[in-house]
Amino acid sequence: MEAKAPCASKCSCRVIEFLESSIGKKIMVAAAGFLLCGFLVAHLAGNLLMFVGGTAFDRYAEALEHSPLLPLAEGGLVALFLAHIFLSIRATLANRAARPEGYQVYTGKGARTPGSRTMAVTGTLILVFIIVHVGTLKYDIGGLKGQIEGQEESLFAHVLGWFANPFYSIFYVLAVGGVGLHLSHGVQSAVQTFGISHPRYTPLLKKAGLAFAFLIFIGFASLPVYFGFFHKPAMACCSAPEGGSK
């Protein structure tokens, strides 16, 4: 057993050395980014239930709220976000120290994209949005929850209350626009980090990444645009019908 110890130690050292290398740091950033993309898809799917109606959306929210896995999922998500931020900053600083001109992905003509030029800006915007989004909709900073009689426990009504505020809705659209712009570069960069880069296939992957980023933006932005500006329900989705039980 003792004879295997040096091998195990060498393997551990090699893993650590790889993770500390430039490509290792980029792979960790890319892996965290892909996992966050999975969260975005799942989160968007749940949010789009608002178009089905208040009852469907509130049932979905209630199922999540009563899930025993929710604390674990929330903790893991927070850890994933923080890891992605920390690793991104770390990789960027290391990359700038090694190559001051910066790292560029293949774009077909060698030019940088709006997404690549604004990664730090959109990343900061996303962080601010997450803080505001969680604070207002989860922890009720602003005190809108429970202001509508008969819908005190309705998350649907709570969300509509915030979307009724044009400043909040505009901020929401701008923030998810930042998400889309961030993804427009992040997805193709992550794909390349995993070694998928070829003059023939990279343009296709780039278009797929852009399509994904656009769909994520449109999906999330459609909610405040529709419910905040074009269709403002009377907030009666979940309240007892008139003349109902007392």
Nearest CA to 35 out of 76, 71, 68, 70 is that of 76
Mean of pLDDT over the chain: 81
The residue with greater pLDDT, 18 or 106, is: 18
Nearest CA to 174 out of 132, 134, 231 is that of 132
C-alpha 75: how far from its chain's center?
15
The pLDDT, as a whole number, for residue 40 is 96
Which of 82-96, 100-114, 202-216: highest mean pLDDT?
202-216
The pLDDT, as a whole number, for residue 145 is 61
- Please say if the pLDDT value at position 115 is more than 90: no
Residue 145 CA to residue 126 CA, distance in Å, equals: 24
The pLDDT, as a whole number, for residue 180 is 96
Under the banding of pLDDT at 50, 70 and 90, the label for residue 91 is confident
Residue 66 CA to residue 106 CA, distance in Å, equals: 45
- Please say if the pLDDT value at position 53 is more than 70: yes
The residue with greater pLDDT, 19 or 102, is: 19
Residue 190 neighbours by CB under 8 Å, 6+ apart? 29, 30, 33, 34
- Predicted TM-score (pTM) above 0.75: yes
How far CA 40 is from CA of 16, 94, 200, 240, in Å, comes to: 30, 28, 29, 33
